[in-house]
């Protein structure tokens, strides 16, 4: 982590976000402005919010009202917002401290959840959270899944009404998810045999969640199922997750104890419907709370100056997409900027983008390459190509006769 200024934490997060193809909220608004034929786009962001969630309605409204769907999809944004008022500022970085959020708007692909979790863990690792970090995950499914689970869960509690604590009986009438979130010992024991959200998933929701878990397992990412992790039933759909630190230790701040929760997020495909729009926009986001490590952005942020990549990463198939996450991280550590389109499946669509932006090289990972741990590097000028081990990509691409 950079230690040369108090902005080191923020700069680390921004560098990683930009590498993976995320742009700032400012650039997002500029894109909308250039895309709009009518009034100037404007987002009224709240001054205080909960873990990035308060900003999302404004982001999604601007996306819809000003033609965000016409932008290259998915739209990937990073942004900040102030900490909650009741947080002790002295412990959370002072009054200038913010939360850092990442949003992927416009894709239903399960790779989006995997990408956000991969990025968040990379960020946390580089900020000093290196030991005993794990992901807690759950799936609420689509609206049909949630409705099915609600019926099963409510019936289970009603049949045992006399055993249910009074406060949970009251919550059951208002919001069953509040019952799930109750952490009292008696309630936790009672919920052990209650229906679980994942047991009520529709087949499409089950397949989506299975893919997310397969991505995590392929990356050797430690995770546990938390059936009580739900968020708001009118907010999240499908995947929901938190990243936690078991011991709250940070190697850069060994004497400071951090909160257990370092990041949280999930899918909010139906959010725009709640805002009054007819169609849903599949989206997912994550916010780094860092357990209380203050994130302080510079008052005047420099304009984004991103070196134009000379490499475009192309994948063919599910296994190749898994291996691409490793390839991206190998190239990031070697400081080789790339373009990637992990949310696209069609080979022709990826090739078309590479041709349009005019990159000199493509790195192609297919099923065979994923199995062998290699990649095909194609010279887009003379159309020659070579097969290179993934671990040797940085050396190959940095050689004088290459990139």
Domain residue spans in the chain? 8-135+233-292, 143-199, 311-398
3-state SS, 34-56, equals HHCCCCCCCCCCCCCCCCCHHHH
Tell me the whole-structure pTM to 2 decimals.
0.86
* Residues 128, 1 contacting (CB under 8 angstroms): yes
Find the range with the poorest average confidence among 28-32, 156-160, 205-209: 28-32
Find the range with the poorest average confidence among 97-111, 340-354, 369-383: 340-354
Q: How far apart are CA 209 and CA 206, in angstroms?
A: 5
The full DSSP string for 269-298 is TTHHHHTT-SS---EEEEEE-GGG--B---
Count of positions (residues) in the chain: 403
Predicted local confidence at residue 26, as pLDDT: 83
Tell me which residue has tokens 């949970």: 168
Q: With pLDDT > 90 as the criterion, what percentage of the chain qualifies?
A: 35
Above 90 in pLDDT, residue 157?
A: no
Whether omega before 74 lies within 30 degrees of 0, making that bond cis, reads yes
Q: What is the pLDDT of residues 108-148, one digit of tens each?
A: 999 999 999 999 999 999 988 887 889 999 999 999 999 99
8-135+233-292 and 311-398: same fold? no
At residue 111, what are phi and psi to the nearest 5 degrees? -60, -25
Of 110, 87, 108, the C-alpha closest to 97 is: 87
Q: What is the pLDDT of residues 16-73, one digit of tens each?
A: 998 888 988 888 888 776 665 544 445 444 333 334 565 788 888 888 888 888 888 8
The full DSSP string for 131-191 is SSEEEEEEE--SHHHHHHHHHHHHHHHHHTTTTS-HHHHHHHHH-HHHHHH---HHHHHHH
User: Reading across the β-sheet that carries 237-245, which strands appear in turn?
Assistant: 23-24, 75-82, 98-105, 283-288, 261-267, 237-245, 133-139, 223-225
User: Reading across the β-sheet that carries 374-379, which strands appear in turn?
Assistant: 339-340, 311-315, 361-365, 374-379, 385-389
Q: What is the pLDDT of residues 269-290, one digit of tens each?
A: 988 888 777 888 999 999 998 8
Of 350, 357, 275, the C-alpha closest to 315 is: 350
Whether omega before 76 lies within 30 degrees of 0, making that bond cis, reads no
Q: What's the CATH number for 8-135+233-292? A: 3.30.930.10
* Residues 122, 328 contacting (CB under 8 angstroms): no
Predicted local confidence at residue 54, as pLDDT: 58
- Quick one: tokens of 256? 């400071």
At residue 401, what are phi and psi to the nearest 5 degrees? -85, 0
Find the range with the poorest average confidence among 125-129, 164-168, 236-240: 164-168
Q: How far apart are CA 162 and CA 180, in angstroms?
A: 18
* Residues 273, 147 contacting (CB under 8 angstroms): no
Tell me which residue has tokens 């947080």: 87
Report the chain's C-alpha Rg in angstroms: 22
Q: With pLDDT > 70 as the criterion, what percentage of the chain qualifies?
A: 85
Above 50 in pLDDT, residue 352?
A: yes
Per-residue confidence band for 149, with pLDDT thresholds at 50, 70 and 90: very high
DSSP one-letter code for 219:
T
Above 70 in pLDDT, residue 380?
A: yes
Q: How far apart are CA 76 and CA 225, in angstroms?
A: 27
Predicted local confidence at residue 152, as pLDDT: 93
DSSP one-letter code for 199:
G
| 361-365 and 311-315 strand pairing | parallel
Predicted local confidence at residue 102, as pLDDT: 94
Predicted local confidence at residue 330, as pLDDT: 92
For the 311-398 domain, the top CATH level (class) is: alpha beta
Mean pLDDT of the chain: 82
- CA-based end-to-end distance of the chain: 27
Q: How far apart are CA 99 and CA 82, in angstroms?
A: 6
């Amino acid at each position: 982590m950079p230690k040369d200024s108090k902005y080191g934490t923020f700069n680390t997060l921004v560098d990683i976000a930009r590498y993976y193809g995320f742009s700032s909220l400012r650039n997002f608004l500029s894109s909308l402005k250039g895309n709009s034929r009518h009034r100037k786009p404007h987002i009224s962001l709240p001054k205080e919010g909960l873990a990035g969630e308060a900003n999302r309605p404004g982001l999604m409204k601007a996306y819809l009202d000003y033609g965000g769907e016409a932008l290259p999809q998915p739209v990937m944004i990073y942004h900040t917002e102030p900490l909650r008022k009741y947080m002790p500022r002295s412990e959370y970085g002072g009054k200038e401290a913010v939360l850092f959020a990442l949003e992927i708007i416009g894709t239903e692909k399960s790779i989006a959840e995997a990408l956000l979790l991969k990025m968040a863990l990379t960020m946390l690792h580089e900020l000093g959270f290196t030991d005993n970090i794990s992901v807690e995950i759950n799936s609420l499914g689509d609206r049909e899944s949630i409705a099915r689970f609600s019926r099963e869960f409510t019936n289970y509690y009603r049949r045992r009404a006399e055993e249910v604590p009074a406060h949970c009986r009251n919550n059951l009438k208002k919001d069953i998810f509040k019952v799930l979130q109750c952490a009292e010992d008696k309630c936790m024991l009672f919920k052990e045999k209650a229906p679980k959200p994942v047991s009520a998933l529709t087949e499409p929701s089950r397949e989506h969640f299975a893919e997310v878990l397969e991505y995590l397992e392929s990356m050797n990412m430690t995770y546990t199922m938390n059936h009580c992790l739900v968020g708001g039933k009118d907010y999240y759909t499908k995947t929901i997750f938190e990243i936690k630190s078991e011991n709250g230790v940070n190697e850069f701040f060994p004497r400071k104890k951090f909160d257990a929760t370092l990041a949280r997020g999930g899918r909010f495909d139906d959010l725009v419907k709640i805002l009054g729009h007819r169609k849903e926009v599949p989206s997912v986001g994550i916010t780094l709370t860092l357990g209380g490590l203050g994130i302080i952005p510079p008052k005047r942020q420099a304009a984004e100056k991103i070196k134009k990549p000379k490499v475009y990463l192309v994948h063919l198939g599910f296994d190749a997409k898994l291996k691409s996450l490793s390839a991206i991280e190998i190239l990031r550590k070697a400081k080789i900027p790339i373009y990637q389109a992990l949310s696209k499946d069609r080979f022709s669509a990826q090739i078309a983008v590479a041709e349009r932006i005019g990159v000199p090289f493509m790195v192609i990972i297919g099923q065979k390459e994923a199995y062998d741990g290699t990649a095909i590097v194609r010279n887009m000028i003379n159309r020659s190509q070579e097969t290179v081990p993934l671990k040797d990509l940085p050396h190959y691409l940095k050689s004088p006769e290459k990139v």
